[in-house]
Chain A
Amino acid sequence: MLRRTLMTTAALGLGLALTGGAALAAGMDHVKACFVYVGPIGDGGWTYQHHQGALAVQEAFGDKVEVQWQESVPEGADAERVLTQMALGGCNIIFTTSFGYMDPTNAVAAKFPDVKFEHATGFMRNSENVSTYNARFYEGRAVQGTIAGRMTKSNKIGYIASFPIPEVVMGINSYYLHAKKVNPDVELSVVWAYTWFDPAKEADAAKALIDQGVDVIASHTDSTAPLAEAAKTNGAVIGFGQASDMAEYKDGPRVSSIIDNWAPYYVKRVGALLDGSYAQADAWEGIAGGEVGIGEITAAVPAEVKAEAEAMRDAIAAGTYHPFTGPINKQDGSAWLAEGQTAPDGDLLGMDFYVEGITGDIPK
């Protein structure tokens, strides 16, 4: 009972502070940060990385924060219930870590103006207490593409795609453009697995690509199965870690990786809530902000290729290079970006076309 009263007063205090305007917003002594995950923490990929971010928040603030989470929350009605429970239960800030939580997040946020909501990978911010955040994974794909283009001997590179959504299409385009840049003869094969996570199917997809002569595989699905399949070729085929570093394959096919690193963002946002500087945001950070990590490039990659890839990484981080810089045509030959023009974020977020040179169609 006492706890309940305390919580109500805390919420009330926060509400008053907010009505005073952002400039006057007071900090908080204690924040309860809550996380909603779409998969189990043990998925070793997407959810696992978000949970690492949550643990980093606990680590960074110690007693000042309480971290709660809920795994395997289906998108839709169940998400709305979990979010409401969390808001009722006294969470001050709730991170919803999957695109499918967009509508529930906004619906619940409208009912709890004093609770902050942070929705990953979406675009809808219907009320002031909803922020969105995402990572520019396509920047990592540019680095991978560079390595792929240089490393392929068969001039065939592969991509195991999950679902035909802009996020994935963006990754495919970036990967292909940068492979093509360093190796004009390169051809890209895309296999759509129609799943985010099905290790056996991912292994089959990798095998299919290998059977087609592909010798560099990037994947947009979560498991290590493609790397394990590549490992069976005794070094003839290489691949990349996806979502997590997948360091256990470092002595084998994994030559680098894209690491989803949500910790910097989570620590920053919870910190802002604690010190009173919190404001609504639409964050889309990449290599520069630390959200997209490039895992160690192994010795399997020749030094000059490694240097080239790292230069690419550093140029993107420094902001001197944008992976989508014109001239770039769409697959049908129509112009997309003019010479020197960089892609507007809106084009990227809704990307539903391949760039020129990729064969095949995006399933529609």
Chain B
Amino acid sequence: MLRLEKRPTPSKFWLYATPVVAVLLTMIAGGILFGLLGKNPVAVIRTIFWDPLFGEFAFYLRGQLLVKAGPLILIAIGLSLGFRAGIWNIGAEGQYIMGAICGAGVALALYPTESRLVFPLAILAGALGGWAWAMIPAILKTRFNTNEILVSLMLVYVAETILAKASTGFLRNPEGAGFPGSRSFSSYTAASNPELIAGSGLHWGGVAALATGVAAYVLLSRHILGFQIKLAGQAPRAARFHGVNPERLVLLCMGLSGALAGLAGLFEVTGPAGKISIDFNVGYGFTAIIVAFLGRLNPLGIVLAGFLMALTYVGGEMAATNMGLPSAAIQVFQGMLLFFLLGVDVLTNYRIRSALMGAR
């Protein structure tokens, strides 16, 4: 009989070793899955983990990892602050959409002004849009004690309807012959968010994601607010005695995560996505929740987790195309990876003891 014994302090060794172990275990379990589906397991695993980084087309795919990881990291860092303080913003997807709509709306309203101010204005509007959308659950929580999980989640669906309305109605391209979708940002230079260095995949969203990671790290380790956030999550009563105003914290954390999600939406719509369309959102807001926890709510961890998720998306896609795997198999594989990452993590904080040995 095995049992767990809590370590006095988390193990440094396992902190870094668990992700490696988890990936190895996933490769084995995933290999079995792919084998059962009649594919060469080694080839599939290599395509997922190796090819995007070092394969034939890595020169292109490495940049794509950044494109994919950027919004995940940006959103996840915002969410992690709230999660640390025990504030559950599940609706980042909605804030992402509203940020994109507001930012794109401002930029398109100025069309065809070619001014350097257009893009900064759009960024501001995007952040404000996400912030405002997150303020709804925040204010309802502080004023009426309404549960923020429900409100933020329900507002995702409302935002999706507004998105459909935007792309078929008020933001529709007047020169698009009645087709849904806004003007394309790639042809509106003042408002577009292009690759900063050709082939790198780096656009302003990626810059913002990495900068936010650093800022969050400083905030959490050096600033009184970071301390308050951590304290509110771990010991709400103690936080009160310490002068932490819980209402202010809710408004702040929700607002910050909303604004960052809105920014991610704005950078995506003006950059890689290129326009407002009915299916503009692809679930970054939900995936970012996983990324936040995979990164153990730690800014550096989130950056790494964001890239790992991006790798499974990009590599998984390649495997699906090249090997004829159903995309569902890739989803299962991603699920397994997450299971292993989350499960093996136990070794960081606990020791496994056999009951016989551990018996006093």
> A: which residues have CB within 8 A of B?
4, 34, 38, 40-41, 68-78, 80-82, 84-86, 88-89, 99-100, 103-104, 107, 122-123, 163-166, 194, 346, 349-352, 363-364
Contact = CB atoms under 8 A, between A and B. Distances in A.
Contact of A75 (B169, B271, B277): B277
Nearest to A91: B321
A74 B268 CA distance: 13
A4 B56 CA distance: 9
A290 B68 CA distance: 40
Nearest to B177: A350
B141 interface: no
What class of interface size applies to chain B in its complex with A? 35 or more
A90 B179 CA distance: 32
B359 interface: no
Nearest to A3: B56
Interface stretch (B114-122, B324-332, B340-348): B324-332
B61 A77 contact: no
A34 B321 contact: yes
A76 B322 contact: no
A84 to B, nearest CB: 6
B317 A75 contact: no
B272 A123 contact: no
Contact of B322 (A41, A89, A194): A89
B276 to A, nearest CB: 10
B164 interface: yes
Interface in B228-272: 268, 271-272
Nearest to B168: A164
Nearest to A67: B324
B165 interface: yes
Interface string B305-347: 0000000011001101110101110000000000000000000
B212 interface: no
Contacts of A122: 179
A166 B179 contact: yes
B168 A364 contact: yes
B282 interface: yes
B291 to A, nearest CB: 17
Contacts of B298: none
B67 interface: yes
B342 to A, nearest CB: 24
B96 interface: no
B239 to A, nearest CB: 40
Given A78-B317, A88-B60, A107-B186, 11 more contacts: A40-B328, A70-B320, A71-B327, A72-B327, A77-B272, A77-B273, A82-B317, A100-B279, A163-B278, A350-B177, A363-B168
